[in-house]
Structure 1
């Protein structure tokens, strides 16, 4: 007898995800090739497709952790296929994060898989399920920046180098924002199992507005300055300079014209 957790259809990688990986590969090759007439457009598709792939992996990490912890319902819901169209709120998980990248160059936390928490026992398991998503973003950032901190960027085309830097910035911002202990974000999900029932009830009404609260705080100049200083410090520790992320965003916004006389030391 095949259970919900072992049915092969529930684990088969979606053609939608495979298509996204294909777009990422082709656009990445175009950026690497340095075709002047398509560089900006190629960077745009490379960044967007890679960003969506990372969002899929973020949600998959939540679902996979939940499956191992005892919630076998995630299989039947399609969360293990890496198909972004299967998420509870595709708008929140995919569309809005992509719009925020285009508008402001910030990695908006996703998060729209429904975990049946009642099937899972143990506070550590609940914390791990919440942490799995942003930890995936953190791992993605480390992998993207590996050529930087390994000193292997010598022969890498400038546009590709800057695109990787910008992608790293998105992953770092997504990880840090997601780990904030704000109701509605994964960071609160990590600590929630350890809070009293009274505290959890008091925090519950704020969960739908967690992101709004965070972005409202980022409009405060002093908070915004501290946030971006922290992001820059993390990226510098990973070997990525402010100049590289800046030009990555400039290449990404190809409709404004590609940057001229790019110099990256």
Structure 2
């Protein structure tokens, strides 16, 4: 690979820069209450910030793989942060955004093709899988910083609600991704340490792992436990349930209840 090709393969994509610019502008609109309807601004801000986090999630996988031995990563465009470069844009971008819009849950992304045969060492394989959800953890920490640092005074309520909801998406994405289920990053972390026989038996389940997780989440008892765990993590980050709930309802600006939190005393 030539030097010019390598540089182009790591140059930040204009698509990603454009999405980041929309995130910045809409975040400013939420902060300043510039938009006539704060819900629309919150929707655009959270959606674009969520896409940015998905891009960073995939970038973390790719960058870690590159430094672990897969030198083909750059040529595939994974280091450009371009969401259109992923092998399964539907799984990595479209479905996660739809799940946020429909149900307020952070669907795990994950669709960079890594040539595992080029990578030596079980720890490297585990780290590559863990890098993505760890990015969601870091993103959640950044979103919740004003809360656990106690610097929310003077911050507009709508902006706090948006940050709380965005943080919740990151927490759900990290938790779901770390589940040791075939097809998710959590399984990728432990897979190198499993026997060849177990890996061969589990391999056919990988395409259906995510569907299985969401099917299980439809079970009322499991769903309650799942959200209790999420609420526990959120409270640990300094965010009470009402804040993220208000962010969710404000995000759904088309709902009749979208502005109810802004009228609270």
Common fold by TM > 0.5: yes
Shift of 1:263: 6.6
Matching residue of 2:132: 133
Residue 165 (structure 2) pairs with residue 166 (structure 1): yes
Shift of 1:261: 5.2
Matching residue of 2:2: 2
SS in 2 for 1:224: helix
Matching residue of 1:83: 82
Is 2:35–2:41's contact at 8 Å kept on the other side of the alignment? Answer: no
What are the Cα deviations for residues 56-112 of structure 1, in whole angstroms up to 9, with x where unaligned? 000000000000000011100000000000000000000000000000000000000
How many Å separate the matches in 2 of 1:178 and 1:198?
Answer: 24
Shift of 1:118: 0.2
Matching residue of 1:64: 63
Matching residue of 1:259: 259
Is 1:243–1:264's contact at 8 Å kept on the other side of the alignment? Answer: no
SS in 2 for 1:262: helix
Matching residue of 1:241: 240
Residue 241 (structure 2) pairs with residue 224 (structure 1): no
Trace 1:1-265 onto structure 2 (pairs within 5 A). 2=2, 7-35=6-34, 37-257=36-256, 258-260=258-260, 262=262
Shift of 1:247: 0.5
TM-score by length of 2: 0.97
How many Å separate the matches in 1 of 2:2 and 2:85?
Answer: 22
Change (3 A) 1:261 1:240: closer
Change (3 A) 1:264 1:233: farther
Shift of 1:264: 7.0
Is 2:39–2:259's contact at 8 Å kept on the other side of the alignment? Answer: no
Shift of 1:42: 0.4
What are the Cα deviations for residues 118-168 of structure 1, in whole angstroms up to 9, with x where unaligned? 000000000000000000000000010000000000111000000000000
Is 1:244–1:264's contact at 8 Å kept on the other side of the alignment? Answer: no
SS in 2 for 1:92: helix
Shift of 1:222: 1.2
SS in 2 for 1:146: helix
Is 1:158–1:264's contact at 8 Å kept on the other side of the alignment? Answer: no
How many Å separate the matches in 1 of 2:21 and 2:140?
Answer: 20
Shift of 1:259: 1.9
Number of corresponding residues: 264
Is 2:29–2:35's contact at 8 Å kept on the other side of the alignment? Answer: no
How many Å separate the matches in 1 of 2:50 and 2:212?
Answer: 24
